[in-house]
Structure 1
Amino acid sequence: MPGWLKNAVFYEIYPQSFYDTNGDGIGDIQGIIEKLDYIRELGANALWINPWYDSPFKDAGYDVRDYKKVASRYGTNDDAKRLFETAHSKGIRVLLDLVPGHTSEEHEWFKESGKAIPVVDGVPQKNEHSDRYIWTEYWLSGIGGHPYISGECDRNGVYMLNFFKSQPALNYGFAAPTESWQMSYKDPEPQKTLELMMDVMRFWLNMGCDGFRVDMADSLVKDDDERKTCTCSLWKKVRAMLDSEYPEAAMVSEWSNPELSLNDAGFHMDFYLDHAGNGYNRLFRDYETLEKYHVFPIAEDRKNTEGRDRSFFKKDGDSDASAFLSDYIPKYEKTKDAGYICFMTCNHDTPRPTRTLDETELKIAYATIFTLPGVPFIYYGDEIGMKYIENLPTKEGGYTRTGSRTPMQWDVDATNMGFSGASSDKLYLPVDEGGPSIKAQQSDKSSLYNVVKDILNIRRNEKSLCADAPFEVLCRGKEKPFIYRRGELIILVNPGEKDIEYTADHPAIKSGNFEEVYSIGRIEHSGDKVVLKAQSFEIIRSK
């Protein structure tokens, strides 16, 4: 386990929307470099950068055309190396986005794979990449794409997809092949695909990358069992390679199943985010019909049968932390010795939390998730409460996700909110003119930005808040506050609009033998009687 993860706080950057330095309306690597001091001052010491590889951008870069080349709109490989070096000089680690399950249909591997396979003396004459993707031997409806890409592919059959039609699935084999065109995940060609992906990882790690966020990490082996046994076996090989060759490199999975990703597959971290009915949803958007992956219901549909959003952090949600904890605690207990469950403000695939929470609700939400176990992730702009922009036309396959990908809002008084000097019609996406900005919130001590900065500063300086520090729930339940302990710190949370009176039974609270470290709102202590005023949060240290 890389030791640096214990104190890591990640900042996710969607590069095309972060900061444009050359005036073309699209963010670039130089823009990230110029904002590293901002990220460090906020309190983050690690980055997750969404794909910056060469791509036709039919899925915002998740359709990779060349794994080892930076897309020209972001810069060059030399710029990437300079980013790694500059970030490291400032004490910042960098994770790249690895897309192992598919490529673009324009990738050279796929072009080779799509070529017809001649038969000589009854023996198919395959090339190096004929089996790099999953092809049927004949037309089979419902499998995926057709092979006629720009007239370059003339292979019989169709190829299996991994997401959009433009993203053919790489061949990691099947758990239990049933057709002649299916290979076992143990066969040489699927194993070679894994080796090629590890070669991609080595390329960037040798340049200075510190690890990877892995896209669709559970999607490798097809028709895998419920526990993804075969896919996990492949990731174990990757983990063994890292442990041997790059022991300080880290991997975080897009899986949201820590028992599998951490215990079975060997990932160091797993995102706790947006699987229908899980604890994250119960905190941030607890409506009856939870959104399916990448589908965000419109506002009037975001209700349960009682006609309101009962998310824990909603001031009028009238709920407690039990629904969240009943999901989270078993997962935490089963995986705490294997890796970290990672809380996120949101990411590029989900609606920004401002869609359901107001500023005060966000302050309490962030203060809570940044003091829970694991490694936290902040999505760019969430620290100032950037909005999810409704009904934006889709951009690069974003569809309903597009509203969470608008440009960073640096300065309300600058052109395009400080994101780019380009004319507005050239911007990657329109900026939210008049929305919150970094510059305005930095000078406002009560702003969301400064709450985030204060909490992260406390996290950085308190051993009790490191990723693997002990965690114990002290109080939960209807009409009770959510109170938990991290080492010598105790955190009290009341996100609701009603005061909560609580008779303390923890010795430090009951005796008054503590000091306040930080608070939002007001909490009154009088012996064992505690009143958590509406929308309050407090960190105390037992003496």
Structure 2
Amino acid sequence: MPTDAWWRDAVIYQIYPRSFADGDGDGMGDLPGITARLPLLRRLGVDAVWLSPFYPSPQHDAGYDVADYRGVDSRFGSLGDADKLIATAHDLGLKIIVDLVPNHTSNEHEWFRAAVEAGPGSPERERYIFRDGDEPPNSWQSVFGGSAWERLPDGQWYLHLFDVSQPDLNWDHPEVRAEFLDILRFWLDRGVDGFRVDVAHGLIKDADLTDWTAPSVILGGLDPVGPPPPMWDQEGVHEIYRQWRAVLDGYPGGRILVAEAWVQPEERLARYVRPDEMHQAFNFPYLEAPWSPAPLREIIDSSLAANDAVGATTTWVLSNHDVVRHASRLGFPPGEGRKPGIGVGDPQPDSALGLRRARAATLLMLALPGSAYLYQGEELGLPEHTTLPDDVRQDPAWERSGHTERGRDGCRVPIPWEADAPSYGFGPADASWLPQPAIWAEYALDRQVDVPGSTWELYRSALAVRREHELGSGELVWLAGDEGALAFRNGDVTVVTNFGDEPVTLPPGARVLLTSEPLDGDGRVPGDVTVWAVF
């Protein structure tokens, strides 16, 4: 595989900066903390790191409300710290991908401040989506709950598909397009290897701002039937990404664009990764699939077919900063609906079953051809913090939903490094911006490194075997198997996942490379276990 195509089979590790490692003891993760921990990610065996936003921000939405796209929030460090992080990563052989948030800015961005100051009809307001009227311009709802329109004292309304502090940009304005081309170059010149593009399907809105009576949830594009909602997946987004791709192609080393695009069917999502647009798009249908063989196989097949049709690689992901961690999500009966957070008083997952299934699901995912994304802490088997006190929640979805959605804080709790250290080694002080549960000690990294059977060692072994057998660049061939199981071959590796209660038998002559849990006494695959084997 050419070096410039490193991304086609890469394993990319997502870091949520405020919760990864705290270098100065203030309870907030930072860039120096991340830099100090990069050698451990190299040891784990990942190829690249994706950083969620670290830009200057009032933090109303954990940094996805950006006030300055060319700086570093003082809570996380400085531009010099960012440069050192990028250089250190490259010295270790790791690529660095940074988050880019182009759908909206913070209401503290200099552009929005100028728009408020300049008043109705001004050129400054044309960079955003302002409208006149006594009533909201249409029925659109915010992803976080409530109206997507906010009225200023001068009578005009502005659109915010997310929090009221996140006004949507007007991407039909040439200044907006030129600004982001310059932002891309700013970070490319500093050495970043790519961008994960937040809400990539949302930049262009229906020109008539057509009413939409259904909730404007970010999952609105996941309806595979009928036209997309007027705020998502409009045709004009593709022209933007073709312009961006041309910029990235002018830099050496295979710089990439990754779409966060909640779009279905897969054929529409694949349009974002055509040869002259983005390189990858997150596979959310796979993330949302139930723990059941038939729907998983269907999604794997449709994902591969759609991406193969445009010559793109397929991505696989089980957890990120926006969803309940899969070690907890899989602790519920298969087929239960998407959970917008879990808290005190909610039905609680079976933690042992969830971790067992999570380990099996991870081995299944890492054996699939394409690129895989890991979310910080999943290599420790971390569950969701499902009993986080409501009075410490910071996700705007909690307030804007009228306390009906607990939101995403439970998957964002600072991760544990040392069982017996203050803040479990997250930082040098006993401080963390969200409280860590008492059970974190048992998941700490120092309790797992070099411990046979630990989740961290399972991940490290899987990534080593994946690389050795070139599974990321392989080809999937389904095999006949027991009912309640999935079996396939990728290159010389055979993969069997048992979703059922009864153990299944491996084909004769199997030499086991890796198992998510031990085989039974007869060498069979127990329920909720994945095995990699060669013959």
TM beyond 0.5: yes
Distance 2:235 2:253 in 1: 24
Q: Which residue of the partner structure matches residue 156 of structure 2?
A: 157
Shift of 1:138: 3.7
SS, match of residue 479 in structure 2? strand
Query: Residue type matched to 2:435 in 1?
Result: P
Q: Which residue of the partner structure matches residue 497 of structure 1?
A: 501
Whether contact under 8 Å (2:25, 2:427) holds in the other structure is yes
Query: Residue type matched to 1:334 in 2?
Result: A
Distance 1:114 1:221 in 2: 22
Query: Residue type matched to 1:80 in 2?
Result: A
Whether contact under 8 Å (2:525, 2:531) holds in the other structure is no
Q: Which residue of the partner structure matches residue 368 of structure 1?
A: 364
Q: Which residue of the partner structure matches residue 481 of structure 1?
A: 485
Deviations 1:409-459 (A, max 9, x none): 0111111111123344xx211112332111001142111111111101111
Q: Which residue of the partner structure matches residue 298 of structure 1?
A: none
Deviations 1:231-277 (A, max 9, x none): 2222222222222345611111111445334434522111122xxxx
Q: Against the structure 1 CA distance between its residues 375 and 137, is the aligned structure 2 distance closer, same or farther, given a 3 Å change threshold?
A: same
Distance 2:185 2:241 in 1: 15
Whether contact under 8 Å (2:14, 2:50) holds in the other structure is yes
Deviations 1:150-189 (A, max 9, x none): xxxx75511111311111000013xxxxxxxxxxxxxxx2
Q: Against the structure 1 CA distance between its residues 208 and 389, is the aligned structure 2 distance closer, same or farther, given a 3 Å change threshold?
A: same
Write out aligned runs for 1:326-475 (5 A): 326-336=298-308, 337-355=310-328, 356-357=330-331, 358-392=354-388, 393=390, 394-397=393-396, 399=398, 400-424=407-431, 427-435=432-440, 436-463=443-470, 465-466=471-472, 468-475=473-480
Structure 1 or 2, whichever has the larger Rg, is 1
RMSD: 2.5
Distance 2:445 2:155 in 1: 55
SS, match of residue 359 in structure 1? helix
**1:255 aligned onto 2:266:** no
Whether contact under 8 Å (1:101, 1:162) holds in the other structure is no
SS, match of residue 74 in structure 1? coil
Distance 1:398 1:484 in 2: 40
Distance 1:421 1:46 in 2: 26
Give unpaired runs (5+ residues) of structure 1: 119-123, 149-153, 174-188, 287-310, 313-320, 503-508
Whether contact under 8 Å (1:56, 1:65) holds in the other structure is yes
Q: Which residue of the partner structure matches residue 93 of structure 1?
A: 95
Shift of 1:4: 1.0
Distance 2:397 2:375 in 1: 16
Whether contact under 8 Å (1:65, 1:106) holds in the other structure is yes
Distance 1:67 1:164 in 2: 18
Deviations 1:28-60 (A, max 9, x none): 100000000111111112111110000000000
SS, match of residue 54 in structure 1? coil
SS, match of residue 518 in structure 1? strand
Whether contact under 8 Å (2:131, 2:137) holds in the other structure is no
Q: Against the structure 1 CA distance between its residues 253 and 475, is the aligned structure 2 distance closer, same or farther, given a 3 Å change threshold?
A: farther
Query: Residue type matched to 2:11 in 1?
Result: V
Write out aligned runs for 1:19-30 (5 A): 19-30=21-32
Whether contact under 8 Å (1:267, 1:339) holds in the other structure is no
**Normalising by the residue count of structure 1, what TM-score does the alignment of the two structures yield?**
0.79
Shift of 1:80: 0.3
Distance 1:107 1:485 in 2: 51
Whether contact under 8 Å (2:11, 2:371) holds in the other structure is yes
Whether contact under 8 Å (1:253, 1:261) holds in the other structure is no
**Normalising by the residue count of structure 2, what TM-score does the alignment of the two structures yield?**
0.80
Distance 1:263 1:76 in 2: 37
- Choose which of 50, 54, 57 in structure 2 pairs with 1:55: 57
Distance 1:241 1:259 in 2: 26
Whether contact under 8 Å (1:54, 1:69) holds in the other structure is yes
Whether contact under 8 Å (1:494, 1:534) holds in the other structure is yes
Distance 2:38 2:99 in 1: 18
Whether contact under 8 Å (1:62, 1:99) holds in the other structure is yes
Q: Which residue of the partner structure matches residue 39 of structure 2?
A: 37
